[in-house]
Amino acid sequence: MTVEMTRRDFLGAAAALGTMALASNTAGAAQGATGAPGGVPGVFPERGEFIVKNAHVLTMDAKLGEVSGGEIHVRDGAIVAVGRNLSAPGAEIIRADNMIALPGFIETHWHMWGAVARNMAGPTENTGYFYISRLLGQFFTPEDNARGVRLAVAEAIFSGITTVTNWSHNLLGPEYADAEIKVHQEVGARARFAYGYSRKTPPDATLPLDDVARVQKQWFGDSQDMLLTLGIAPRGPETNSIEIAREEWAFARQHGLPITTHMGTSMERVKKRQGIQALAKAGLLGADVVLVHVTNNSPEDLKLLAETKTPVSLSPYTELRTGFGITPVGSFLRTGVPVSLSVDTTILCGNADMFTIMKAMQNIENGLQKSEFGITSQRVLEMATIDGARALGLADYIGSLTPGKRADLILVRTTDVNMLPFTIATNMIVQSAQPWNVDTVIVDGRFLKREGKLTTIDMAQLARDAADTIERARKEASKEGAGKGINELFTR
Ligand SMILES: [Zn+2]
């Protein structure tokens, strides 16, 4: 079954049932009535042809740079041209006065299923993140996982993140993977589905590689737009033996699948397992492997990553919150290790805000260097856009506003109170902007957020589903008696 067929199947059903009704998106409805791109209640947004007019454009393309009073011409999901005075008769005009246009943010590591357990990491061993997520996760149905993913993707789009990495590690059976993938197709943001494990996967076992092959065949047949791509997310040599990693890596490389795994979350683990050196010796590093965190590794380890062009994914708010350490972003940059940015889990970090993630990267590095000039806004913006695309192997498709690439872009208002007055655009995005300033989000030429409203998400249903899932999982956990800490978390 191809991606396109599945989406059409879904849309047919959705239109019939009215499940995607979005009465609040009146602007989209009006535009839809005239055949323009945008949200029409009950209909997945079409890719149209339009010109974004009079934006301050941060292309993130080294050649095109920054264009004030700029225009972006988009047709059938692709960027046709970027510049000034573009001609495109018949294209819809999208006014972007007083807005900054830039590529959508690219996120490289997010345990999305857990979004419905937002903030549920308590202050003790019995209530902390690892304990609680393991406890609750075992009571999730495929639909619960799907609800988590939908909430996470909704927040991503709202916040200007156009590409997410669903680092899926609560896959209790094949139907969980299917349920999560369906959500990505319904909601429309670009996604890497990184097929992981579950807390029930035995320590001496690989991922269910047969099912990864099944999923690849069933869902990832002939995608041309790269909207949904598949990878694997094994536990890696800090948890499993290197023999298991060898098997998983060999499978992934035979099937053309990129790999991502956690690494270096504590000094003890690094000393005991020497995961990066083990991967290096086995020939398992490379541009197709995103290592997550790498907070406690040695300069020698980082050199191995630089030599093999192995990217890292840094999630400063969870690394700080959970005590992995202070994200050593400068060490990677100075050694030549490619850096991308991530959310990780909103159970710990609370929200999915790439603006504050970028701001944290800049401020942590300047603080560590004891210098105002440690790292520029432009450089951290690259990490959140083009370098994210490179880490996912998608830089030919996304990451900059370059003609020929897919049209993933966001428009950020500069007239909101926290943005005034217009000064230096890159500083405004990294230091001032917040998700609520994101007016418009376009993915593959489709408007997924328009005039501040999500077009493919029913917010009321989303809220009901999230509450329902977490209440039920909590009850199950208490009933089993497995979670002596679970009730301590709630005082109401
Ligand atoms: Zn993680």
238 Cα: distance to centroid of ligand 1 (angstroms) = 13
CA–centroid distance, residue 86 to ligand 1 (Å): 43
Backbone φ and ψ of 224, nearest 5°:
-95, -30
Ligand 1 centroid–CA 476 distance in Å is 25
Could you give the CA distance from residue 293 to residue 315 in angstroms, rounded to a whole number? 7
* Rounded distance from Cα 69 to ligand 1 centre (Å): 40
**Cα 203 to middle of ligand 1, angstroms:** 18
- Cα 261 to ligand 1 centre (Å): 8
192 SS3 class: strand
Q: How far is the CA of 254 from the centre of ligand 1 (A)?
A: 25
- CA 306 – ligand 1 centroid, Å: 22
192 alpha carbon – ligand 1 mean position (Å): 15
The pLDDT value recorded for residue 8 is 38
CA–centroid distance, residue 334 to ligand 1 (Å): 24
Q: How far is the CA of 240 from the centre of ligand 1 (A)?
A: 16
**Model's pTM, two decimal places?**
0.91
Tens place of pLDDT for every residue, the chain, 492 residues?
333 334 434 334 433 333 333 333 333 333 333 333 444 445 689 999 999 999 999 999 999 999 999 999 999 999 999 999 999 999 999 999 999 999 999 999 999 999 999 999 999 888 899 999 999 999 999 999 999 999 999 999 999 999 999 999 999 999 999 999 999 999 999 999 999 999 888 889 999 999 999 999 999 977 778 999 999 999 999 999 999 999 999 999 999 999 999 999 999 999 999 999 999 999 999 999 999 999 999 999 999 999 999 999 999 999 999 999 999 999 999 999 999 999 999 999 999 999 999 999 999 999 999 999 999 999 999 999 999 999 999 999 999 999 999 999 999 999 999 999 999 999 999 999 999 999 999 999 999 999 999 999 999 999 999 999 999 998 888 876 655 667 767 654
CA distances from 55 to 125, 415, 423, 492 (A): 50, 13, 14, 48
- Centre of ligand 1 to C-alpha 159, Å, is 20
Q: How far apart are CA 174 and CA 6, in angstroms?
A: 18
> Residue 385 pairs with which residues in a beta bridge?
none
What is the CA(109)–ligand 1 centre distance, in A? Answer: 6
How far apart are the CA of 425 and the centre of ligand 1, in A?
32
From residue 271, how far is each of 48, 176, 246, 367 by CA, in Å? Answer: 54, 35, 21, 27
Distance between Cα 110 and ligand 1 center (Å) = 7
